[in-house]
A and B are shown apart, each in its own frame.
Chain A
Amino acid sequence: MKETLQKFFKMDRRWIFLVLAVVLFVPIMRPLGLPNKTISRDARNAFDYVDALKPGAFLLLSLDYDPSTRPELHPQAVAVIRHAFKKNLRIGVVTYIAGSTGLIEQIFETVPKDYGKVYGTDYVIFPYMANAAAVMTQMSSDFYGIYDKERNGKPVRDMPVMQGIKNYRDMALVVNITGTSILDWWVAFVGDKYNVPVVGGCTAISQPGYGPYLQTKQLKGLIGGMKGAAEYESLVKEPGKGTSGIDALNLAHLLVLALILTSNIILLIIKHL
């Protein structure tokens, strides 16, 4: 009996992989429609901060994620952009991850059309830049010193969307959605240094790490993982990929719990045998 039970501990982990694959695959193919019951305080704060901005305010959106973290972060970005367009905010998009450029294109291919927004008047996309920390510092004195052209090489200084924008002081908010430490840099190099409010979006795995910044209000709000995206979508009332991923997320979490419980029950039985 003991030996049989101990086999569970030495089980080939690929069995666990298989179970997880099934648990994730089924609800993606056949959505169960489980509800997204609560909205976390941090996601609500993020929403409230964007919501309180006056129409015409300039929002600098730093989208720094590549396809790897796309399932979690892309819905967040879409939800924030939809919210900003609904509120008639101006958007400037920057990125410091080369892999983001294609994903940014994908968002702006469709979303602005839903709100009748025009490139150059309501939003602008800046080219990818390497060395984020250096660029962030440089933008503090003169935005156009680093971004004088948009991604296709057109000068931006005279675009209506950039009217009155010279540096961080003219921006109402910085929103950074990333799976990297670029969010820490926005907080340390820009938020703290130039008193610019920063809202973040991150992967679920890195969410706990931002607790101290949220407590000290260095981050005004945080959208965490796919659940955060679903929460933001429900606040904006625009259900999207985040909401549809909630089923898989629910079941996968419960599978982890079931596994942890099973292993401990087996451990307990072995101890008493």
Chain B
Amino acid sequence: MTKNKIKALIILLLTAGPVLAVAGGKAAPGTIDGFTAVDMPYDAGASVLLKWPVGPSDSADASYVVYGSSLAEGGWRKGEEFVATAKTCKDINLPFWAWDSGEAQHALKVELNTLFGDIPPGTPLKFKAQLLRKGSVEAESPAVDAASKSNWFRLDRLNNLLFLLVMIVIFFWAVSHAKRKGLFIRRIAGLDAIDEAIGRATEMGKPIFYVPGIGTMSSISTIASAFILGEVSKKVAQYDSDIKIPHYDPIVMTVCKEIVKQSYLEAGRPDSYREDMNFFVSADQFSYAASVDGMISREKPAACFFMGYFMAESLLLAEVGAASGAIQIAGTDIESQLPFFFTACDYTLIGEELYAAGAYLSKEPMLVSALKVQDFGKLVVMASVSLGIVLVSLGTKLHWDFFVRVILNLFKAY
């Protein structure tokens, strides 16, 4: 009996010993299972994606900390720390066709530059995560290996790519089916007045000022303006009038020189073309405005064209032009400047009218047909906006969350 008691005591001591030891000191941390580290998809290789399942012990009083290392042993750097209930797959901003955004897994995108500084894609790295509660480590994941890589396709931008491809297909269809006659373009009064303005200049023997604004060649309104200049200068050449084109940007000036030269050739008046029709004034907004204003006041032109990209100088130019008694035709896609042109000019082209002007004036079938593509694009936008409003409102009302997400994702830019 005593022997048995001693045996039982020994067994108890042997089994309970470690338990008591642990209870007296620190408990060994548990393990975070299912911790993975992979390359973040659809990026240039600057980040790694960490994922692990949401556990039952994830509560607001606990937090996760992730660590990364670029060394084989040790060298752990502390990454992000966040509340244990946060950062699930749902928080990664990717669309439904490129990402499973359930809430069953934690997901964290680790920016490698932030954690390691300058680090090339493909560098072998290690990651681990710890669950902290009240300052002590409750659980820890094993260290897992990962390496980022440069990806080849932004799957999240698939919606954007499809829209572009549809636009390109329609663009080619419209251009290849260009008809010489039959495509209706609404009358644009400002453009019809160009002949009148040039005729007036010829009668009065005064020059025409064509001001392309302060945009560079990467601004679409400047490009559109250059195309209009081609048509205007062709007419100027035909009427044998004089045109002056002051420039803000030297590259725009070079392009415009070519355009005007070509127009004079096409009009059969290459001898009337002069190199100084296009001239550089200043690359400073108000120096440019002051200089052009000075020229307009002194030379009292018969007509002024303000076509292209304009900012605050719009009114400075247009008012001086109006005071000098010139016929003024303006056009810009900068809507904040449109009111100024409306009040001070005889005709104003609004936004897209400016883009359409080149085609309208040249009547080139291919260019006119390209306008169809613009109309198609607008139709798509109008339909999407109207349908989108109805479907998203309906989906929200009926709590069809996934349906709403699909619609919103489809029309979002990533």
Q: Which residues of A contact B (CB under 8 A)?
A: 66, 68-69, 98-99, 133, 141, 166-167, 169-170, 179-181, 192, 203, 205-206, 208-209
Contact = CB atoms under 8 A, between A and B. Distances in A.
Contacts of A181: 311
Contacts of B113: 166-167, 169-170
B218 interface: yes
Interface of B is mostly: loop
Nearest to A203: B312
Interface of B: 44, 111, 113-114, 117-118, 218, 284-286, 311-312, 335-336, 413
Contacts of A68: 285-286, 312
B248 to A, nearest CB: 12
Nearest to A131: B216
Q: Which of B44, B113, B118 has the most CB of A within 10 A?
A: B113
A206 B337 CA distance: 9
B311 A180 contact: yes
B92 to A, nearest CB: 12
A169 B111 contact: yes
A164 B44 CA distance: 21
B9 to A, nearest CB: 59
Contacts of A206: 311-312, 336
A192 B160 CA distance: 15
A69 B118 CA distance: 40
B332 to A, nearest CB: 12
A209 B111 contact: no
Q: Which of A133, A181, A192 has the most CB of B within 10 A?
A: A181
Given A68-B285, A192-B413, A209-B335, A179 B114 contact: no
A181 B218 CA distance: 13
Q: 6 closest pairs, A vs B, by CB? A: A209-B336, A68-B286, A166-B113, A169-B111, A206-B336, A169-B114
B118 A166 contact: yes
Contacts of A209: 335-336
Contacts of B311: 179-181, 206
Contact of B336 (A99, A170, A208): A208
Contact of B312 (A133, A166, A205): A205
A166 B286 CA distance: 36
Nearest to A69: B312
Nearest to B311: A180
A204 B114 CA distance: 38
Contacts of B114: 166, 169-170
